[in-house]
Structure 1
Amino acid sequence: MPTHVLSSAWKKSLLAAGCAVTLSACSSGGFNHSSNAYDIETVASQNASERVRFLVLHYTASDFASSLHILTQPSEHPVSSHYLIPENGDASYPHKDLRVYQLVDENRRAWHAGPGKWNDRTQVNDQSIGIEIVNKSYCEPPVETGTVKPGKENCFFPEFDPQQIDLLIDLSKDILARYPDIRPTNVVGHGDVKPEFKIDPGPKFPWQKLAQAGIGAWYDDDTVKRHLDYLQGNTTSDRQSIRHHFAQWLADYGYGIDPDNTSDEEISIYTRAFQYHFRPWKVDGEVDNQSRAILLALLEKYYPRKLSSYKDIDTGIVAELSSPASN
């Protein structure tokens, strides 16, 4: 069986053939049974939702051949993803045209995000689709420590292949069309759900371009400016108070930080993860006014009811907003 994804037309022909044999297995409601030993009657319940709620993006840190081997073959620490997207110029890639490789059926759990946390979910693997993107970004530990910790590593981040990103956009649109519970804020990177150990897809990943194509979240510049003007004029809060407020905002947006029980180092780690995603031109883990304004703009856009509860932020306009995403 070829490892690349079946074309849409070929998928449809297979589905039609299967439906001709067993109608019940092709029910649009997902009701599946294969035994003739009992009678089954289907009544579709309205009290259900899709299991898939997240789309998690990664870079592979290695070439195509190595990535494919690692993601498909047994090992001491096995990993996998639902999809793998190659890049141009990779000598280990066997085709002239870029193809999406499907490695795990979407109905099965791939091992790509570990015990990642997002919103109120602590096992992102169980409810996500993972896409690995071939990119040779890597980080090495400082010589004096021997271990990699976010913010302390020496990293190299090559640009992503534009054609590869276009392919990712097409695949992601297809996935989002089939899983409406993946809201914009639930399209995340590995570094968002596991920032203590991961930073991928890194600062060169074009999150804004994906958002412009309808994939994932991004902020509005005018809203950032409005919040930034307010924050720069408000100098009454001390550094520690500002950082803990920011931890609360991160948690409200979806990050797995516990604002009531967090250390200063942990706030820096989660702030850095946020910056890799939304302010990649300056990733330092510092809770500065620009980072705060960007996060407030995101909360205003996607969770306005949460933002309106902040007593120290000018939210007169925001308090009147209402959004399905804030429910």
Structure 2
Amino acid sequence: MKFLAIIVSLVLLAGCATGPRYDISHPSANHDSRVQFVVVHYTSASMERSLQLLTHGEVSSHYLIGDDKNATIFKLVDENLRAWHAGESEWQGRTWLNSSSIGIEIVNPGFKDTPTGRLWYPYSEAQVQSLIVLLKDINKRYAINPNNIIGHSDIAPLRKLDPGPLFPWKRLAAEGIGIWPNEQVVARQQAQFETQLPSISWYQAQLAHLGYATPQTGELDVATRHVIAAFQMHFRPSHFDGTPDAQTAALLQVLNQTK
């Protein structure tokens, strides 16, 4: 009898150890993916140093694209987990995007300042091809809004410049990844804005509508210039000085009309 009591106790304990029982016969349709954004970065470091920082440092990303011949794609953090790549950030009113994004780092030195100006380093063709494959795979699983495939500089324009003006946003858009304005429509709009520029309040409102965290002061303050420069670097990488000119206005209007 004593032996039987021990067996019964063990069975009861085993039942308790399994945890609560759940009724899963009423699944809710009211949900979406944790992943709403993809944020692209450059590492400003060599591949060896990048791997070290992203695996044993204070930052991380879900993926790293190397600068080796094949542009190896390293998976560093499971997509269901939060990687530490965005920091203080905002896009379309969502803040601290680590919790809602996939981060992709690309091995690239970024830039160096020279006596004749700032020199930006290009991405290799292999890196671009690997990035396209990776982004298409991510998009297949999460159906990311094209407007939400963005750079670090888009979500943190006051403190970040990556992925820089040589990042191939236009080419990605041609592959069905991200957005790019119709250049002929932009040219027509630009001609209209050449006669009279919109107010600073208009630029600030348009930038905020597109997704940028922008002051709504009506003044061309330092923060607004940074946001305009980040927008220009993404959509007009040949010239990104933060000046609210006619072409910038045309780009904003066309992008927001087709958003």
The structure-2 alpha-carbon separation of the partners of 1:262 and 1:119, relative to structure 1 and needing over 3 Å to count, comes to farther
Q: Which residue of 2 aligns with 1:4?
A: none
TM-score, normalised to structure 1's length? 0.70
**2:120 maps to 1:157:** yes
Following superposition, the deviation at residue 59 of structure 1 comes to 0.5
Amino acid in the other structure paired with 1:208: K
Amino acid in the other structure paired with 1:40: Y
2:249 to 292, 296, 300: 292
Q: Which residue of 2 aligns with 1:38?
A: 20
Amino acid in the other structure paired with 1:138: F
Alpha-carbon distance in 2 for matches of 1:299, 1:67: 36
Q: Which residue of 2 aligns with 1:125?
A: 98
Contact 2:200 2:219 in 1 (8 A): no
Contact 1:250 1:295 in 2 (8 A): yes
Following superposition, the deviation at residue 44 of structure 1 comes to 1.8
**2:179 maps to 1:196:** no
Larger mean Cα displacement after TM superposition, 280-289 or 259-268: 259-268
Q: Which residue of 1 aligns with 2:230?
A: 273
Q: Which residue of 2 aligns with 1:91?
A: none
Following superposition, the deviation at residue 285 of structure 1 comes to 0.8
Which secondary structure state, in structure 2, belongs to the residue aligned with residue 52 of structure 1? coil
Contact 1:64 1:134 in 2 (8 A): yes
Following superposition, the deviation at residue 262 of structure 1 comes to 6.2
Alignment gaps of 5+ in structure 1: 1-34, 89-95, 143-153, 303-327
**2:49 maps to 1:70:** no
Q: Which residue of 2 aligns with 1:87?
A: 67
Alpha-carbon distance in 1 for matches of 2:258, 2:78: 33
Give 1 or 2 for the bigger CA radius of gyration. Answer: 2
Amino acid in the other structure paired with 1:106: E
Contact 1:137 1:155 in 2 (8 A): no
Structure with the higher helix share, 1 or 2: 2
Which secondary structure state, in structure 2, belongs to the residue aligned with residue 280 of structure 1? coil
TM-score, normalised to structure 2's length? 0.88
Following superposition, the deviation at residue 138 of structure 1 comes to 3.0
Structure with the higher strand share, 1 or 2: 2
2:44 to 51, 61, 75: 61
The structure-2 alpha-carbon separation of the partners of 1:105 and 1:261, relative to structure 1 and needing over 3 Å to count, comes to farther
Alpha-carbon distance in 2 for matches of 1:121, 1:104: 22
Amino acid in the other structure paired with 1:161: S
**Larger RCO: Structure 1 or Structure 2 (Cα < 8 Å, ≥ 6 residues apart)?**
2
Q: Over aligned residue pairs, what C-alpha RMSD do you find? A: 1.9
**2:133 maps to 1:170:** yes
Alpha-carbon distance in 2 for matches of 1:288, 1:131: 32
Contact 2:215 2:223 in 1 (8 A): no
Identity of matched residues, %: 40
1:253 to 194, 210, 231: 210
Alignment gaps of 5+ in structure 2: 1-16
Amino acid in the other structure paired with 2:137: D
1:106 to 72, 79, 92: 79
Which secondary structure state, in structure 1, belongs to the residue aligned with residue 19 of structure 2? coil
Which secondary structure state, in structure 1, belongs to the residue aligned with residue 64 of structure 2? strand
Amino acid in the other structure paired with 1:209: R
Contact 1:53 1:127 in 2 (8 A): yes
2:177 to 215, 226, 241: 215
Following superposition, the deviation at residue 99 of structure 1 comes to 1.8
Following superposition, the deviation at residue 261 of structure 1 comes to 7.3
Q: Which residue of 2 aligns with 1:322?
A: none
Amino acid in the other structure paired with 1:218: W
Following superposition, the deviation at residue 225 of structure 1 comes to 1.8
Amino acid in the other structure paired with 1:79: V
Q: Which residue of 1 aligns with 2:7?
A: none
Amino acid in the other structure paired with 2:46: D
Following superposition, the deviation at residue 139 of structure 1 comes to 5.1
Following superposition, the deviation at residue 115 of structure 1 comes to 1.4
The one-character-per-residue Cα deviations of 1:164-223 (angstroms, maximum 9, x if unpaired) are: 10000000011111112x211111000000011101000000000001111111101122
2:31 to 48, 55, 79: 48
**2:189 maps to 1:205:** no
Amino acid in the other structure paired with 2:61: S
Following superposition, the deviation at residue 263 of structure 1 comes to 5.4
Which secondary structure state, in structure 1, belongs to the residue aligned with residue 199 of structure 2? helix
Alpha-carbon distance in 2 for matches of 1:271, 1:86: 30
